[in-house]
A and B are shown apart, each in its own frame.
Chain A
């Protein structure tokens, strides 16, 4: 696997929802790539379009009213380039679970309450492989064991309600990874878990990513989690990317005022004299409605650095010499 290899290419993706109130541009020209073995964190507040981006890649958004209105989605898998925008539904169904998998936020409701956890892992194997019953059972137990479930032979016969939230999320990870997908999309997989369990699940996902060599698209609004797991970060705001950067660069020198504001709104533990004065900084205002985006920079109405010309045209995503991409016309003048 050479370093230049890409796994997923997202190019100028636009996904809209056509409702009675008009067209809601949930995702409006998003581009990024994910390489094998790499974790890209997609960060943003609720309503920024990060989940719709993920569902667009899976082609699982409700349709109608949703539609991919532009852009390209390409998945490199098994030496073939799969066009995820044009692929037929049966072909998408074959890719889901085997090439791309997804895990969700709520471990309490992500498993069918009437099937044993073993059956739910086995179901994916039955759908995507030709393995016989014995082989499936063996593989199921192996996978449950791999995600850190004690006594997996016995646990495989348990129903989801016998398990704790952390255990269920482990089962969910086992279900998602049992066919060794090339890309795993994780939509806020740790948000609903206790902090102590969050760490364990992140550790597990990191280990599995290395073991399977898969790319990970990690969606979250929790910057603490980003710092722990991501290689690169893409910050979304109002359906667009506002900044992409390596994780260290982003935390050290955020270039977009929105990223900087997000980082400042994070609670920090400081020792001694450096303790910041006053309360946490919240970002005033709200994310603009997807039905009526302001002209120009969507963050301008909430931005402390905004000038009248910010509201004239949408700023382009410019790449700095350091490889950081920023969508702000004042990026050279200001150091947020």
Chain B
């Protein structure tokens, strides 16, 4: 218990991480309570007031169908947060299992690592587009595609950390006292990779938000009319000369979210530093 509270205190001592957490908390509240906060239905059209600039009635203005941009950004946040969370869960669970298997079973190691090399050789976005083409356009497919893209990264990291841990004396000592393979993996290797996993999770979250936006921008992600920050920018770019708020609002939302996640990730890394030495 003492360890957890001191980790929290060390994290709070870092100003940038606190800023990041505040922004992130704001985003999460916005996403969670979007239906309550949003002043309009994000898909309700109002052609008379199309492309109106930001004002009291429409904080972030309206788009070419007269839909309220602020409400759409809120619902977009919902989508981004859900995608990010699910991708992180997918990649972390799958990556951890594969990484631990790879570090313990030598015959599997070569196979898994060459396969992950192959996946990692593709640029994120290209692999994601290819997978989306094979899967189809829905939230679950986006999660599946992005999860597949980020799993090898987590697997690598866990494998590396576990290999280092296997050489440590407490793992040797556990074996010398009669602990079996499974016991060593579950009680000694897995808990000691949590520190690296937490840090990696925040960075994966940021990457997933960014890549999902890119996919939707390219039309390979969440299809309109469901508002996603990516497809909002795609639609807004046609009116760049008349209504720049249409790309500013979702663009800034992406920027803030990713920046906040990076700050929290950096802060966590520093706060966990003594435990990360030699593992990253």
Residues of A within 8 A of B (CB): 58, 60, 93-98, 101-106, 109-115, 123-124, 127-128, 159, 172, 175-176
Q: Does B111 contact A (CB under 8 A)?
A: no
Q: How far is the CA of A111 from the CA of B173 in the complex (A)?
A: 8
Q: Judging by beta carbons under 8 Å apart, are B178 and A110 in contact?
A: no
A112 touching B178 by the CB < 8 A rule?
no
Task: Give chain A residues whose Cβ lies under 8 Å from the Cβ of B172.
Answer: 60, 104
* Residue among B3, B183, B188, B192 making CB contact with A159, cutoff 8 Å: B3
Separation in Å of the A300 CB from the closest CB of chain B? 35
* Inter-subunit contact A102/B176 (CB<8 Å): yes
Smallest beta-carbon distance B141→chain A, Å: 37
A-B interface, 10 closest residue pairs, ranked by CB to CB distance from nearest: A97-B178, A97-B177, A96-B178, A102-B176, A110-B169, A109-B169, A112-B170, A114-B191, A110-B173, A104-B169
Whether B170 and A97, one on each chain, are in contact in the complex, defined by CB atoms closer than 8 angstroms, is: no
- With most chain A CB atoms within 10 A of its CB, the pick from B175, B176, B180 is B176
In the bound complex, do residue B168 and residue A58 qualify as a contact, i.e. CB atoms below 8 Å apart? no
CA of A97 to CA of B175 in the docked complex: distance in angstroms?
Answer: 9
Q: How far is the CB of B104 from chain A (nearest CB, A)?
A: 13
Query: B174 on the interface (CB 8 Å rule)?
Result: yes
A-B contact pairs, 14 of them (CB 8 A): A58-B176, A97-B177, A102-B176, A104-B172, A104-B173, A105-B169, A106-B169, A110-B169, A110-B170, A112-B174, A115-B187, A127-B179, A128-B178, A172-B173
Proximity bits, B133-147, A CB within 8 Å = 1, else 0: 000000000000000
Most central of B3, B177, B275 by chain A CB within 10 Å: B177
Which chain B residues lie closer than 8 Å to A113 at the CB level? Answer: 170, 192, 275
A124 near B177 with CB under 8 A, answer: yes
A225 to B2, CA, bound (A): 38
Q: Identify which of B178, B187, B191, B275 contacts A124 (C-beta below 8 A).
A: B178
Q: Count how many chain B residues have C-beta atoms less than 8 Å from C-beta atoms of the other chain.
A: 20
Shortest CB distance A18–B (Å): 15
Q: Are A96 and B3 in contact (CB-based, < 8 A)?
A: no
CA–CA, A102 and B168, complex, Å: 15
- Whether A102 and B178, one on each chain, are in contact in the complex, defined by CB atoms closer than 8 angstroms, is no
Residues of A within 8 A of B174 (CB): 112, 123
Q: How far, in Å, is A101 (CB) from chain B's closest CB?
A: 6
Q: How far is the CB of B184 from chain A (nearest CB, A)?
A: 10
Give the residues in chain B near A97, CB-CB below 8 Å.
Answer: 176-179
Task: Give, as a whole number of angstroms, the nearest-CB distance from B164 to chain A.
Answer: 11
Judging by beta carbons under 8 Å apart, are A123 and B179 in contact? yes
Q: A114-B191, A114-B192, A115-B187 are in contact. Are A109 and B170 (CB under 8 A)?
A: yes
Whole-angstrom distance between the Cβ of A316 and the nearest chain B Cβ: 34
Considering the chains assembled together, what is the distance between the CA atoms of A123 and B169 in angstroms?
Answer: 16
Q: In the complex, are the beta carbons of A127 and B177 less than 8 A apart? A: yes
Residues of chain B lying within 8 A (CB to CB) of residue A159? 2-3
- Please tell me which one of the listed residues B3, B177, B192, B275 contacts residue A101 in the complex, with CB atoms under 8 A apart: B177
With A104-B172, A175-B173: A127-B178 Cβ-Cβ less than 8 Å? yes
Q: Which residues from chain B contact A111 at a C-beta distance below 8 Å? A: 170, 173
Determine the chain A residues whose CB is within 8 A of the CB of B168 once the complex forms. 109
**Which of the residues A58, A93, A101, A176 comes within 8 Å of B180, measured between beta carbons?**
A93
Q: Determine if B178 and A94 form an interchain contact, defined as CB atoms under 8 angstroms apart.
A: yes
Contact partners of A112 in chain B: CB under 8 A:
170, 174, 187-188, 191-192
| Contact pick for A175, options B2, B175, B177, B180, CB 8 Å | B177
Q: Which residue of A lies closest to B275 (CB)?
A: A113
A98 lies within 8 A of B178 (CB): yes
A112 to B177, CA, bound (A): 13
- Report how far A60 CA is from B191 CA in the complex, Å: 23
Given contacts A94-B178, A101-B176, A106-B169, 10 further A-B contacts (CB under 8 A): A60-B175, A95-B178, A96-B178, A97-B176, A97-B178, A97-B179, A109-B170, A112-B187, A113-B192, A114-B192
Q: How far is the CA of A104 from the CA of B168 in the complex (A)?
A: 11
Of B3, B170, B183, B275, the most chain A CB neighbours within 10 A belong to B170
